[in-house]
Amino acid sequence: MTLTGALDAGTELPADERVIDVRDLRMRYGTRDVLDGVSFAARRGEVLALLGPNGAGKTTTIEILEGFRMRSAGAVSVLGVDPAGAGERWRARIGVVLQSWRDHGKWRVRELLKHLGTYYAPYSTAAIRRPWPVDDLLEVVGLIEQAGQRAMRLSGGQRRRLDVAIGIVGRPELLFLDEPTVGFDPAARREFHDLVHRLTDVDETTILLTTHDLDEAEKLADRIVILAQGRIIADGSADALSRQVAGETEIRWTRGGQRFVHSAVEATPFVRQLFLQYGDDIGDLEVRRNSLEDTYMKLVLESEGGLR
Amino acid sequence: MIRSLRIGLARGGIELKQTLTTPTDLWAYFFPALLLLGTVFFMRNAHVPGTTFSLGASTLPGVLGMGLALGGLMTVSQQLVVEREDGTLLRAKATPNGMTSYVVGKAVVVGGMTILSMLLQLIPGVFVVHGLHVSVAGWLTLAWLIPLAFLATMPIGAVIGSLFDSPRNMALAVLPIFGLVAISGIFYPITAMPGWLQGVAQAFPMYWLGLGMRSVFLPDSLASVELTHSWRHFETFGVLAIWVVLGMALAPAILRRMARRESGSAVAARRERAMATMGR
Ligand SMILES: Nc1ncnc2c1ncn2[C@@H]1O[C@H](COP(=O)(O)OP(=O)(O)O)[C@@H](O)[C@H]1O
Ligand SMILES: [Mg+2]
């Protein structure tokens, strides 16, 4: 299955609306292409999820966009600038949520955010006041009570919220999150999703996040780009992706003690036909439209099968 | 640039305040001071060979010089390696002008820690041993020697720190540095060393910082037990200046190269390796 129609969706955006514009990106390690012909775009204010299984190339892609890795080939523009040679002014306009370990452990939460904010002050504009006032920021990420605590005394979830606060203290126009909820329990994940929703409510920040969890991508993203084996295999809103695969509906039934499975584009006429033909002999009827999850799994498997 | 400098100074100030309010850090300052004071206490009644001057008193200034060198070389390199592993450096890189301020802040905090450690050794030290004295000329010497000590050692420390990927193989750097301590006339007179070792010692800042500090605190008559029977301020300045030039030439490029390699996945990989080693 290919979803080539969807692949063009990203590039239909007018150039000046593209906060991220990636064309034919290639990353090669030795003789192996880890990314091959990757193209996608993100619109201002959009939450874009880069979805894919482990080893798909998500981290590689996001680090190229962050300006932390040099690409092998292709054109990349982030906020109108090539990250490979971007300066500090560009750096001030983007935010990166890093997965911390124990850095700045002795710093108190407020002290750290206030200090990191000072780096952004020279890049304040009439439209975007930088940095984010510390008290507002603490409120947004829900760390008001921990403001005076040392970072090393925070719980895991609080520490991740501090990581987010650090990522957005400069009021970024574009925020990067690489697998932000990996290792979270369901409650912490829910809380984190709420935080991301809150962020997109208060500011028109464009967000690019990576995840290997379809459910997370569906919950957070306006648009999903599926990456597998270094290639983009689908690109569109969760709805659009579902609709494109809705062509596949699975119908299961039994007749005379035997099980049957059939895939049909239009389930209704098929089932009507089935009953006209066999009537009461039909039992255990199941009609199941392919979920996006089925599609994702199928796409991933196909891309693995197709390349190996 | 001025702004980055100012933010870096603020950063160093905050970190200095933090270390002074962290009990384990304080212990790390007091412990060597106690060790040293104990040592010079037991040496106080011995004499520098051929003189009536207290051996303990003559050792203390050299140790202060060693402290300057170790602060610049070891503290800087260790902090750099640790903070590269824990992601502090990556955060600096992800922040506009963050690396400049990080480096300035590091210089401030290590400089402050080193001077603090020195005072913790010196102030009780003058009560334990007798004969230490600083003249007006001595104060002037301190005024150029200490900044020069930091300028000569910190960039080299940063270079050493950039070369190691993990705090756990830093021992490779620590051993040669302690070798240098052994041959630099800090605890044992350099004049008793074979000529070629004297030559090696004199190529590095350690020896000259020990000598410089002795020249500040000891009576001029004790220059007679040094090589060439003089304090050799001119040579001290010259050798340290060469190290300043060398460090300043190497450090920025090497630091930049190191920073270029930092990314979320690089830190994650290091974290995993560290976890694996700790788990074992
Ligand atoms: N520095 C590197 N050298 C060689 N191969 C790499 C390097 N970084 C990543 N890869 C390979 O590229 C592929 C994609 O990795 P990555 O972008 O981390 O995937 P993801 O984040 O989607 O799990 C993996 O197969 C990985 O082994
Ligand atoms: Mg990854």
Asked whether the beta carbons of A205 and A127 are under 8 A apart, the reply is no
pLDDT band (50, 70, 90) for residue A308: very low
CA-to-CA distance for B144 and B10, rounded, in angstroms? 24
Residue having the nearest C-alpha atom to atom 11 of ligand 1: A34
Q: What pLDDT sits at residue B280?
A: 54
Q: Is the pLDDT of residue B97 over 50?
A: yes
* Ranges A200-209, A240-249, B114-123: which has the least confidence: A240-249
Q: What's residue A288's pLDDT? A: 83
Is residue A274 assigned to a domain? Answer: yes
Per-residue pLDDT tens digits for A88-109? 999 999 999 998 778 999 999 9
Where does the pLDDT of residue B271 fall: very low under 50, low under 70, confident under 90, or very high at 90 and above? confident
| Per-residue pLDDT, A279 | 85
**Closest CB to B268 among A99, A104, A122:** A99
Helix (H, G, I), strand (E, B) or coil at A228: strand
Dihedral of the CA atoms A214, A215, A217, A219 (nearest 10)? 160
Chain A residue nearest residue B86, CA to CA: A103
Is residue B183 within 8 A of residue B215, CB to CB? The reply is: no
Does residue A261 sit within a domain? Answer: yes
Q: How far B54 CA sits from the closest chain A CA (Å)?
A: 42
Locate the chain B residue with the closest alpha carbon to A92: B96
Return the pLDDT at A131: 96
Residues of B in contact with A123 (CB under 8 A): 96
Domain that holds residue A253: 247-307
Domain span at residue B211 reads: 2-279
Contact A107 B22 (CB under 8 A): no
B94: nearest CB among A98, A107, A118: A98
Q: Do B14 and A107 touch (CB under 8 A)?
A: yes
List, for residues B161-204, the tens digit of each pLDDT value.
999 888 888 888 889 999 999 999 999 899 999 999 999 999 99
Are B94 and A91 an interchain contact pair (Cβ–Cβ within 8 Å)? Answer: yes
Packing angle, helices B205-217 and B233-260, rounded to 10: 140
The span from the first CA to the last CA of chain B, in angstroms, equals 45
pLDDT digit string (tens) for A117-173?
999 999 999 999 999 999 999 999 999 999 999 999 999 889 999 999 999 999 999
Q: A167: Cβ below 6 Å to ligand 1?
A: no
Kindly list the residues from chain B whose CB atom is less than 8 angstroms away from the CB atom of residue A119: 7, 95-98, 101
Is residue A121 one of the residues assigned to a domain? no
- Chain A residues touching residue B258 (CB < 8 angstroms): none
Task: Establish if A253 belongs to a structural domain.
Answer: yes
Total domains in the fold of chain A: 1
User: Ramachandran region of residue B229, left (φ > 0), alpha (ψ -120 to 50) or beta?
Assistant: left
Question: What pTM was computed for the model?
Answer: 0.89
The mean predicted confidence, pLDDT, of chain B is: 93
- A241/A190: higher pLDDT: A190
B-chain residues within 8 Å CB-CB of A151?
A: none
Dihedral sign of CA atoms A89, A95, A99, A103 in order: positive
pLDDT tens column, A267-293: 888 899 988 988 888 888 988 877 777
What pLDDT score was predicted for residue A265? 79
At A273, list the tokens. Answer: 């036909």
Q: Name which of B15, B88, B263 is nearest A68 (Cβ-Cβ).
A: B263
Is residue A287 in a domain?
yes
Put simply, the answer to whether A89 touches B3 (Cβ < 8 Å) is no
Q: Do A120 and B96 touch (CB under 8 A)?
A: yes
Contacts of B46 by beta carbon, 8 Å cutoff, 6+ apart? B54, B55, B56
List the one residue out of B68, B67, B219 whose CA is nearest residue B134: B219
> A211 CA to middle of ligand 1, Å?
15
Mean pLDDT of B43-60: 89
Count how many domains chain B has: 1
Amino acid (one-letter) located at A158 = Q
Distance between Cα A78 and ligand 1 center (Å): 21
